[in-house]
Amino acid sequence: MEIRVSQFGHNRQTPLLDTIHNPADLRKLDESQLPQLAEEVRLDMINAVSRTGGHLGAGLGVVELTVAIHHVFNTPDDKLIWDVGHQCYPHKILTERRDEMRTIRQGGGLSGFTTRKESIYDPFGAAHSSTSISAGLGYAVARDLAGKTNNVISVIGDGSMTAGMAYEAMNNAGAMNSRLVVILNDNDMSIAPPVGALSAYLSRLISAKPYQSMRHLAKEIISKFPPRLETAAKRAEEYARGFFTGGTLFEELGFFYIGPVDGHDFSHLLPVLKNVRDCGFDGPVLIHAVTQKGKGYEPAEKAADKYHGVSKFDVVSGKQEKTPPKAPLYQNVFAKALIAEAKHDDKVVAMTAAMPSGTGLNLFQEEFPDRTFDVGIAEQHGVTFCAGMACDGYKPYATIYSTFLQRAYDQVIHDVAIQSLPVRFIIDRAGMVGADGVTHQGSYDLAYLGCIPDMVIMAPSDELELMNMVATSATIDDKPSAIRFPRGEATGKVDLPERGTVLEIGKGRVLREGKHVAILALGTRLADCLEAADKLAAHGYSATVADARFAKPLDVDLVKNLAANHDVFLTVEEGSIGGFSSLVSNLLANEGLFDNGLKFRPVCMPDIFIDHDSPAKQLEQAGLDVDGIFRKAMSALGQEVAKSSSSIA
């Protein structure tokens, strides 16, 4: 059935939801009304995402859980923290943002994740995984220090539990007496017995006051036993509960485990949440809720990825509006290049941190399943894992998004670079990423890798250059190297060979000769630099355009020649302040090339966070489009030019 929307954006099939403006309204409902509300939230969410695209499956899986939490707990005074944020759409619908849901991930609209600046119901912003327990513990300790009594609830998915940070937080929380409620949203892993009447009964039983009182009394009695008997009695009680409920792992970490409970059944959820709210636990509690990703929408339930991330789609059929790519995706070009290298060298192996399809390694895995390793959401471990393989003569390709590699920075320096190990870092999503926004932009890798001694850093200007750089990296056996490339389609303007050609390390190339302005580009902004040079020529200024290829080592001769033979020198990069331009300006300063009046201008991301929007609009805002590069050059020439009317509005 098609979901129809009124002029106010509300669904005509959602009479109960139409009465809910915020969680205070939700708490006025009778428990018997909550299943209807959940179904209406689900309908409203499907309708909204069908028009905007975004994350769908994860949110569908937590609709009942979201309704139950807001019904039982007094949000926003009680702090509800969502891990990652893929599943927060139902939460946004219920927390005063329903009318804005059709702006989600659009320029000027709602974020696709939780963010503190958007709502008081988002106490902690997140879009990377495994932060919720740490943040929740911080809130709980701050509450205790202030003498407050509010609850803190952290919701974390089973995928996020593959990251070490979650266990670090649990270990810390388990050693403290701060009240913290952690809800494990388990929609994939089989880490517990099947959910049913017995487990629901046990969960209600062990979370209730009578059990708590008896347990306290038992502890008092046990404490009077000789030490060995006391220890044995505690273990017996713990493992007895672990045998029935599957919670032994979490008990070992110091959490009181409750579950598993059916995350779609209010008769299971509500009693447990109320017991946890009212029983006054002395320390952290973990509620294990089992849910189904994509719940309630048949196309999502049947899809392999449960419609995790979708483009706009038809609600009735579930068919997504995906435009066929006009050119190969950079990630797939990388996969093609790596497969070619692996066919010639059986030491080539690849690692991804839970993103095989996003990085193209699913294609590599089809060819070389025994040489592909998915370590889960564990970038720190993944990098050191690669370092270990490199120590024994293998050629590991650590394939990680730029924004996620940040999480393994210590390992890059300590475990790889200091030991001069030839780990090849493949950095996807370098630069603007559109609707995913600031949390996923690959803004900083040039800056955080550029300061590491003896690191080779490459950035291709097109897909052929990417293939050549993969081939080049395979020959670097005495130091770490990195290749960064953007999200999305390549140029589609060059023919690709079966295998790339090895480049000379640290050598760039000149594509156009001029005399007034030198433009040295790193990466895929090169095409816009050539167009900017055309605009300069139309105003009477000729420009040399060069492709640096390497941020480290710099092509010293190329940089010196550009500086010596032009009045204005621009560097262009899709990265933050402190990256490629800093490396070039440092060389210019040390060589004394500023001393004769050279006008140097870096064109890079401004020192601000750029919110979600289309990549083209983000580049315009950053001044990294054709018009921005042109105007920067003209300004350095003393010719201020108004912003082009042809630029994106």
Sequential DSSP letters for 8-33: TS-BTT-TTGGG-SSHHHHTTS-GGG
How many Å apart are CA 290 and CA 192, to the nearest integer? 9
- Please state, as a whole number, how many other Cβ atoms lie within 10 Å of the Cβ of residue 303: 18
| Contact in structure between 356 and 426 (CB atoms under 8 Å) | no
Give the model's pLDDT for residue 203.
61
Q: What is the CATH number of domain 509-636?
A: 3.40.50.920
- Catalytic one of 98, 306, 407, 617: 407
Q: The tokens 């293998």 sit on which residue? A: 394
Is pLDDT larger for residue 20 or for residue 208?
20
Computed over its alpha carbons, how large is the radius of gyration of the chain?
28
Q: Which residue has the tokens 């020529």?
A: 537
**Tokens standing for residue 23:** 């969680």
Q: Is 407 a catalytic residue?
A: yes
pLDDT band at 645 (very low <50, low <70, confident <90, very high): low
CA angle 288, 290, 292 (to 5 degrees): 155
In the set 42, 143, 293, 549, the catalytic residue is 293
What digits encode the pLDDT tens for the residues 225-269?
566 555 655 555 554 455 445 556 788 888 998 888 999 999 999
Q: Which helix (H) or strand (E) holds 511?
A: strand 509-512
Structure token pair of residue 501: 């050609």
Q: According to the model, what pLDDT value does residue 319 have?
A: 86
Fold matches, 17-310 and 509-636: yes
Determine contact, residues 508/558, Cβ cutoff 8 Å.
Answer: yes
Q: Is the pTM of this model over 0.75?
A: yes
| Cα-based angle 521, 524, 528 (whole degrees, multiple of 5) | 70
Q: Is 159 annotated as a binding-site member?
A: yes
Q: Sort strands 180-186 and 284-290 into parallel, antiparallel or unpaired.
A: parallel
pLDDT over threshold 70, residue 463: yes
Is 516 marked within a binding site? no
The CA-based diameter of the chain, rounded to the nearest angstrom, is 93
pLDDT of residue 243: 45
The answer to whether 293 is a known catalytic residue is: yes
| Region of poorest pLDDT, from 191-205, 402-416, 597-611 | 191-205
Query: CA–CA separation, 535 vs 81, rounded Å?
Result: 50
Fold assignment, 330-484: Rossmann fold (3.40.50)
CATH superfamily of 17-310: Thiamin diphosphate (ThDP)-binding fold, Pyr/PP domains (3.40.50.970)
**The dihedral formed by the CA atoms of 215, 221, 227 and 229, expressed in degrees to the nearest 10:** -80
Sign of the torsion angle spanned by Cα atoms 182, 187, 188, 189: positive
**Which pLDDT belongs to residue 162?**
84
423, 426, 430, 433 alpha-carbon torsion, rounded to 10°: -130
| pLDDT tens digits, one per residue of 333-372 | 999 999 999 999 999 999 999 999 999 999 999 999 999 9
Mapped onto helix, strand or coil, the DSSP state of residue 507 is coil
The mean predicted confidence, pLDDT, of the chain is 90
523 marked as binding residue: no
Is 127 annotated in a binding site? The answer is yes
Q: What is the mean pLDDT of residues 86-115?
A: 94
Task: Convert the pLDDT of each residue in 487-507 to its tens digit.
Answer: 999 999 999 999 999 999 999
Say what the pLDDT of residue 230 is: 57
- 379 as an active site residue: the answer is yes
* Residue 246 in tokens: 């599957």
Residue by residue, DSSP assigns 72-128 as HS-TTTSEEEESSSTT-HHHHIIIIIGGGGGGTTSTTS--SSB-TTT-TT-SS-BSS
Whether residue 91 is annotated as binding a ligand: the answer is no
The whole-number pLDDT of residue 133 equals 96
Helix (H, G, I), strand (E, B) or coil at 350: strand
The reply, when asked if residue 74 is annotated as ligand binding, is no
Q: What tokens does 161 get?
A: 């539990």
The single residue of 39, 379, 465, 620 carrying the catalytic annotation is 379
> What is the predicted pLDDT for the residue at 249?
76
Cα–Cα nearest to 603, from 644, 562, 633? 633
129 annotated as belonging to a binding site for a ligand: yes
Output the pLDDT for position 232.
54
The pLDDT confidence band at residue 190, using thresholds 50, 70 and 90, is very low
- Over range 528-556, report the average pLDDT: 98
Token pair 């569908």: residue: 60
Residue 10 assigned to a binding site: no
311 is in an annotated binding site: no
- The predicted pLDDT at position 278 comes to 93
Domain boundaries, the chain: 17-310, 330-484, 509-636
List of residues 6+ apart from 231 with CB closer than 8 A: none
Q: Is the model's pLDDT at 198 over the cut of 70?
A: no
Token pair recorded at residue 219 = 């502890």
CB 519 within 8 A of CB 511: no
